[in-house]
Structure 1
Amino acid sequence: MIDVKGWIKPDKRDDGPPLGPGERRAIIIEISVVLLVTFGLSGLSSILSLVEDALLAGSLADQTVALNTSSSSLGIIDLLYQVLRILRLCAWGALGLYLLWRAGLGPRLVGLGRPRAKTDLLQGLGLAALIGLPGLLFYLVGNAVGLNLTVVPSTIDDHWWRIPALIAYAFANSGAEEIIVVAYLISRLRRLGMGENSSLLLSALLRGSYHLYQGLGAGVGNLLMGLVFGRYWQKTNRLWPLLIAHALIDIVAFVGYTLLRDHLSWLP
């Protein structure tokens, strides 16, 4: 389903004429600002959170972190907070697409052209299985040996809108991460003349960094996910399967936990 032949040395890309010093500086500033506004700042915050957790007494596995939480005891206010979080992620993705468009890379050129429903869905399902199942095992092992915190996917109160909000959050999170961390970052690093392997590694390191608040194991697991997703995009220039795969992984985690936590005693 997913062709992995030849992934070690991607084809060389021709991305325009050489940059002058001013253009290079402008792209570096642009990347820095985008990352500080989005996932780069999240990565720094996650590193600080991991250091704090490691300095506390006890194992990381004895500590708990919730991914989706309620922000108000008032249902309608809590819903509005959730909508704002979803809109923030959508804005991050839109920012990446806008800057790529301004640079001459419209949505079609970064893999968001007309969807190929059957192919994109099948490859998205394949990527979700490739990442999701080993990822769950990686988390359980990491938690058992004390490298991960105990992750609670959702503690949102039981409202009629809880499941739709979690699904919307999964899609928004998928869009923001894959557009910024894969399409935007690798494209702009490519324009700076960075090799495909180096840009892939930086993209994967960024993805791993902002998951470190869940523990060292989660950081490593997401770094590996970043290597697979980034290389897939470099080789196929298709972003839709990544969006589908990431959204499916998050939906299974968020909604599955919410529906099963009262029925499975081993869930936190």
Structure 2
Amino acid sequence: MTAESSSSTAPSAADGPAGPPASRRHITAELLIVFGLSLGQSGVYAVVSLADKLTRGPLAGQTTTLNPVLNEREYFDLAYQLLDILFALMPVALVLFLLSGPGVSAVRRLGLTFEQPLRTVGFGVGLAAIIAVGTLGVYAGGRALGITTALVPAALDDYWWTIPVLVLSALRHAVLEEVIVVGYLFIRLRDLGWSTPAIIITSALIRGSYHLYQGFGPFIGNVLMGLLFAWFYTRTRRVMPLVIAHALIDITGFVGYALLGPALGIGA
């Protein structure tokens, strides 16, 4: 299915009403600003990080740590962790502001709602199961081929707040990525007249780009995940099932590793 529109064409009912049409230059500038403040910036840093790792030696012998300690003192670490999560979500607030208007709900426009909750959760769980199996396979393959670093999903010290913070971190990633790299990107690229296949591929490549710091395996895995998620969005116009799926995957990885990973030697 191909769905195209231009800045002078009203969006489909699936996307919800919009305000006065913006020029192509304005939309392009907005896209660059939003991604420059969020996942586009992460992608640039990921490329530089990968180049740094490649010049240090084989990727197979290196480790990438997610959710690291930010301060050696417990409550300062907690403060930094929470601030990191809070400010990482500011681009989402910006996107919701940009997509809103008189009589226009950005939340509804993105499908970031719990309408038909059983169906929404069911889709999320199903997508999470598919991606989880694929992720394990791609990671194992990448490690075997030497193109993926060893991943440590959680390296926080063992405090009373460790698990809640890891859950919040997972939710942060889920909301940030799915709202911006799927819902927002799809709406704005449609405004520019892009075809559906082009938007799906672009979304997937952006998703893969900001995971390059983990190696080439996670890049490939996240591109495949991005293709599935973007395709799903084109069929449903709903971001919430993607947020649920992403959150479940990250919560399982972060919390599971914090509880069992070191004891089982996972991540080596």
Instruction: Give me the TM-score of the superposition, normalised by structure 2.
Output: 0.91
Equivalent position of 1:141 in the other structure: 141
Contact 1:115/1:240, CA 8 A, preserved across alignment: no
Contact 1:70–1:78, Cα closer than 8 Å, also in 2: yes
Native 8 Å contact 1:108 1:114 kept in 2: no
Aligned equivalent of 1:123 = 123
Partners of 1:46 and 1:210 within 8 A in 2: yes
TM-score (norm 1): 0.91
Q: For residue 27 of structure 1, what is the aligned residue in structure 2?
A: 27
Per-residue displacement from partner, 1:24-48 (whole Å, max 9, x unpaired)? Answer: 1111000001111100011011011
Letter aligned with residue 219 of structure 1: F
Inter-CA distance 115–15: structure 2 relative to 1 (3 Å threshold):
farther
Is 1:236 aligned with 2:256? no
Aligned residues: 258
1:139-178 to 2 correspondences below 5 Å: 139-178=139-178
Describe the SS at the equivalent of 1:65.
Answer: strand
- Tell me whether 1:38 sits opposite 2:38 in the alignment: yes
User: C-alpha displacement at 1:136, in angstroms?
Assistant: 1.1
Q: Counterparts of 1:22 and 1:118 in 2: how far apart (Å)?
A: 37
Task: Please state how far the C-alpha of 1:172 moved relative to its aligned partner.
Answer: 1.3
Q: Residues of 2 paired with 1:16 and 1:192: CA distance?
A: 6
Maintained 8 Å contact 2:2/2:197:
no
SS of residue matched to 1:154: coil
Residue 3 of structure 2 is aligned with which of 1, 7, 12? Answer: 12
CA distance in 2, matches of 1:16, 1:34: 18
- Aligned residue in 1 for 2:255: 255
Aligned residues of 1:97 and 1:179 also touching (Cα < 8 A): no
Give the AA of the match of 2:156: I
1:210/1:102 Cα in 2 relative to 1: closer, same or farther (>3 Å)? farther
Aligned pairs for 1:45-64 within 5 A: 45-57=45-57, 59-64=58-63
Q: Over the residues paired in the alignment, what is the CA RMSD in angstroms?
A: 2.0
